[in-house]
Amino acid sequence: PGPRMESLPEAVLIRILASIPAVDLVLACRLVCCQWKNLVDGAALWILKCQQEGLTGAESQENAENWQNFYFLSKKRKNLIKNPCGEEDLQHWGEVENGGDGWKIEELPGDFGKEFPSEEVHKYFVTSYEWCRKAQVIDLRAEGYWEELMDTTQPKVVVKDWYAGRSDAGCLYELCVKLLSENEDVLAEYKSETIAIPQDNDANWTEISHTFSNYGPGVRFVCFEHGGQDTLFWKGWYGVRVTNSSVTVEP
């Protein structure tokens, strides 16, 4: 008979284990024996998997305390906002406030507007002559971010939004994002100032962003809310335009 697995040099065993899907490593392989458990719980195996899958680029995270969490967070990284650019009308968004003629979806660049910096974005939401706000609540556990990860590792929660006015009308814009507990208590909050875009503006798209970190244990939901209105009170849709909203959980 050939050599048994436990007789292999540790470096060779790590290379073999690194070829196994990550979920199987955690749920099955670490239960085989003490040696495998130590390897799966150690840094070397996950550093190798990160290197093999290109997860250690310019932001190599050499100081990442927990490479297993870094690996899973990097692999899972995606925009948790559904329908961020209006491709599905207002689906997935709750209308918190629908003033004036309410929310509308328009094609870029729109009247008196500018193209978006990314060619992948084709539509935007636009507000009316009274405040329009819409919100989306993200269930982190349903998205695969388990309680121990959120409570102990407390990965960064990165929020971004894009807004613009039309060049012939002034408008207002606001963004408010809250990290919520199981009972929807507010554990951390970011609220922008009320941003005023004057009439006769350049209609350029502007990105606004905020990163939550060290927010403490208990975060289970993210509530993303934004909105605005025009400042001329013209009937129709002359208010702020928003698109490409995102919430990501990052290492």
Give the domain CATH number at 50. Answer: 1.20.1280.50
**Distance between CA 212 and CA 25 in Å, rounded?**
30
Residues 116, 162: Cα–Cα separation, whole Å = 9
Which one of 25, 45, 74 terminates a domain?
Answer: 74
- Note down pLDDT in tens along the chain; length 251 residues: 555 666 778 888 889 889 988 888 888 888 888 888 888 888 889 888 888 888 765 455 555 568 888 888 888 889 999 999 999 999 999 977 899 999 999 999 999 999 999 999 999 999 999 999 999 999 999 998 888 889 988 999 999 999 999 999 999 999 999 999 999 999 999 999 999 999 999 999 999 999 999 999 999 999 999 999 999 999 999 999 999 999 999 88
| pLDDT score recorded for residue 52 | 86
What pLDDT shows up at residue 27?
80
Residues 46, 151: one domain? no
CATH assignment at residue 102: 2.60.120.260
Q: Look at residue 58 in the predicted model and tell me its pLDDT.
A: 42
Examine residue 198 and state whether it is found in any structural domain, yes or no.
yes
Same structural domain for residues 61 and 30?
yes
Task: Tell me, yes or no, whether 136 and 216 share the same domain.
Answer: yes
Q: Is residue 157 in some structural domain?
A: yes
- Same domain for 217 and 101: yes
Residue type at position 12: V
pLDDT at residue 50 in the model: 87
Question: Are the beta carbons of 248 and 78 closer than 8 angstroms?
Answer: yes
**Structural domain that includes position 13:** 5-74
Domain boundary (19, 45, 74) is at: 74
147 shares a domain with 222: yes
Domain membership flag for residue 85: no
Domain tally for the chain?
Answer: 2
pTM of the model: 0.83
Domain final residue, candidates 74, 105, 135: 74
